[in-house]
Amino acid sequence: MTLLRKPLIWCIWDGASYDVVQALMAEGGLPYLQRVVESGGIVALKPPFPNCETPPALASLLTGVEPSTHGLVGRSLASLAGSMGLRSVFSRSSITVPPIWERIQRRGGTCVTAFLPWIDADTFVASGSFAVVGYENRVVGAGTIRVSNDNRAASQEWDGNRVDFRTNRAHVAVFVNGESRGEVPIRSKQLEWQDIDLGHGRRAACAALLREWRDDVLLLHGGVWDVDVVPGAEKNGYLRATKAFMGGMFGEAYRRGEFGPQASEGGDGSAEATYFSCFKEVAARFADGALTALLARADAQLFLCYQPVIDAVQHECFSAWGADAGYPGVEQKRRLIVQAYQEADKGLGKLLDVVPHASLVVTSDHGAAVVTRECYVNHLIHQLQGEGRMPPGEIVFDASESGSVWLKHGTGETAVERESVRKRVCDALLAYRDPDTHTAPVASVFDEQSSQRSWNPAFGDLFVVGSPGYQLRAGSSPTPVSPSRKGGHHTAWTGESSLYGIFVTDVDALLSQRSAVIDNHDVVGLLARTMESS
């Protein structure tokens, strides 16, 4: 029997689907994860209800409670009145239940976290723990800049600095406030990334793509981030030992055709090759940054690291996973999904090489579901009101796109009136059919009374779940429903098998009550009990 060994390393692969992992292991495509499974086992992990986007699902995974208890219901926090004022979900104050590392720290243990949110700096310092926080303090988001081939400068304002980009035959020269800060090699497919020093400890990873079909160069940058390290006295040392943090995978650039036409649109595969060279670099930087954090406290009891590459790529490509291989571009997008899982697996391999005798747990927070259509719920509400099929008043699908619907001004004063409005809104949304597919974009609508699970007022006056293949959106569109250029999502728990995540471990004690499925919020209790008894 394999007992718990120290440290316990917990790797979180955002979005890893049980279905996909099983298929890839059967093909021999995930050798390091397979090694862990062969020493222990793998079970499916059920994501939380009702919303299983990354923030609420990750919070449930790390706190051991459902979203109704920890309070996160989507990618952003809106006020309970549905004012549409959105706040970050990554500050420690955004969850009401402490994550697992605080439980360990308060009984004298030491922990390391890499790229996870909800860090209380005082608790980490007092316990001698170490944390790297990447996403919380974004200065400039990742993006692309078109640079002309005629040596004219393209300029950006980054963190109060004027940054100029100027091409020559082989490089893009970068100037910050007129001072040369390096050159970025120009490549046609496989990008070469270069860190640009912006001063004051801030850097940006940049690459340059030659686009002959547009006669220009596309400068890609991974954004500017103020990476927090706890304790702060160790920040400079950590930054010197690692490359610049990259918070974006460039999926939007791939989707918009900035890398050239996708294979599904007649492209020759160059766009996919460029996209791969983007997310491969990001995945490697997350893995290497996590490994550096681990070495900062090699004697810690618990080490947690986060890897976003799988989730990011599935958002762009997941519709190809189970599609007919005969359709244009399906094989190329499926290959991108495989490569994303393999990059995460390579990161796991780096950890195994450095700490070969540690106990391993690899989980995801959720899986993925195919999306082919988008339903713009606020547009639909206005259309149904105009047709007299929905009551008047201010009825709003939340800007966080978590699934929450708020009944605001003019939707009834008494409880009886509001209940009548609720019923009419539910009936109208469920009855609507997509004109192109004759399918209902909305699969279910429920409230506190009709929900079979615990409820939180932050879920809204109503909570709406899309049908398989549909993603519910809050933005504007010429029509209520339109085709989606994205390939995957995981907005709400619909029961689709691909939405199940993974729970993998080489510790038999964690699988002593082996079952086919474990709930996302049960992982923390299982780990904590095992660690406390070891």
pLDDT in tens, 460-471: 899 999 999 999
Average per-residue pLDDT for the chain:
90
Residue 265 zone, left/alpha/beta (φ > 0; ψ -120 to 50; rest)? alpha
* The predicted structure's pLDDT at residue 117: 93
Residues 482-490, mean pLDDT to the nearest whole number: 93
Distance from C-alpha of 257 to C-alpha of 184, rounded to nearest angstrom? 22
The maximal CA–CA distance of the chain, rounded, in angstroms, is: 72
Distance from C-alpha of 315 to C-alpha of 352, rounded to nearest angstrom? 28
Confidence of residue 514 (pLDDT cuts 50, 70, 90): low
Residue predicted with more confidence, 87 or 493: 493
pLDDT at 319 over 70: yes
Distance from C-alpha of 515 to C-alpha of 479, rounded to nearest angstrom? 45
Residues 208-229, mean pLDDT to the nearest whole number: 92
pLDDT at 511 over 50: yes
Q: Residue 401 burial (CB < 10 Å; 0-12/13-18/19+)?
A: buried
Segment (H or E) for 517: strand 517-519
User: Is residue 405 helix, strand or coil?
Assistant: strand
Confidence of residue 287 (pLDDT cuts 50, 70, 90): very high
Helix axes 31-39, 18-26, angle to 10 degrees: 100
Instruction: Tell me the C-alpha to C-alpha distance, in Å, between residue 241 and each of 9, 223, 238.
Output: 21, 19, 5
Neighbours of 409 (CB within 10 A): 8
Q: Residue 485 burial (CB < 10 Å; 0-12/13-18/19+)?
A: middle
pLDDT at 91 over 90: no
Q: Which amino acid is at 329?
A: G
* The predicted structure's pLDDT at residue 151: 66
- For β-strands 404-407 and 154-158, DSSP reports them as unpaired
Distance from C-alpha of 171 to C-alpha of 60, rounded to nearest angstrom? 46
Count the helices and strands in the chain (H runs, E runs): 14, 27
Q: Which of 96-100, 121-125, 278-282, 399-403 has the lowest mean pLDDT?
A: 399-403
Evaluate whether the domain defined by 372-487 bears CATH number 1.10.40: no
* The predicted structure's pLDDT at residue 211: 93
Within 254-393, strands assigned E span 302-307, 359-363, 369-376
Give the side-chain half-sphere CA count within 13 A for 405.
29
8-76+86-137+238-368+497-533 CATH, one of 3.40.50.720, 3.30.870.10, 3.40.190.150, 3.40.720.10: 3.40.720.10
Distance from C-alpha of 479 to C-alpha of 313, rounded to nearest angstrom? 27
Segment (H or E) for 423: helix 415-431
Instruction: Tell me the C-alpha to C-alpha distance, in Å, between residue 187 and each of 116, 170, 206, 269, 378.
Output: 33, 8, 12, 16, 43
Contacts of 263 (CB under 8 A, 6+ apart): 269, 271, 272, 328, 329, 331, 332, 333
> Percentage of residues in the chain with pLDDT exceeding 70?
95
524-529: list long-range contacts, CB under 8 Å, 24+ apart: 524/61, 524/62, 524/63, 524/64, 524/99, 524/100, 524/103, 525/64, 527/8, 527/10, 527/100, 527/361, 528/64, 528/100, 528/103, 528/104
DSSP letter assigned to residue 195: E
Q: Which amino acid is at 301?
A: Q
> Percentage of residues in the chain with pLDDT exceeding 90?
69
Contacts of 228 (CB under 8 A, 6+ apart): 119, 131, 132, 133, 136, 137, 235
Q: How many residues does the chain have?
A: 534
User: Is residue 163 helix, strand or coil?
Assistant: strand
Confidence of residue 475 (pLDDT cuts 50, 70, 90): confident
Confidence of residue 429 (pLDDT cuts 50, 70, 90): very high
Confidence of residue 286 (pLDDT cuts 50, 70, 90): very high
Residue predicted with more confidence, 258 or 410: 258
Cβ atoms of residues 514 and 384 within 8 Å: no
Confidence of residue 1 (pLDDT cuts 50, 70, 90): very low
Confidence of residue 81 (pLDDT cuts 50, 70, 90): very low
Distance from C-alpha of 162 to C-alpha of 37, rounded to nearest angstrom? 51
Distance from C-alpha of 448 to C-alpha of 461, rounded to nearest angstrom? 8
Tell me the sheet residues that pair with 43. Answer: 503
Residue predicted with more confidence, 3 or 123: 123
Rounded to the nearest 5°, which phi and psi values hold at 458? -65, -15
Strands of the sheet containing 130-133, edge to edge, are: 228-230, 130-133, 111-114, 302-307, 8-13, 359-363, 501-505, 41-46, 517-519
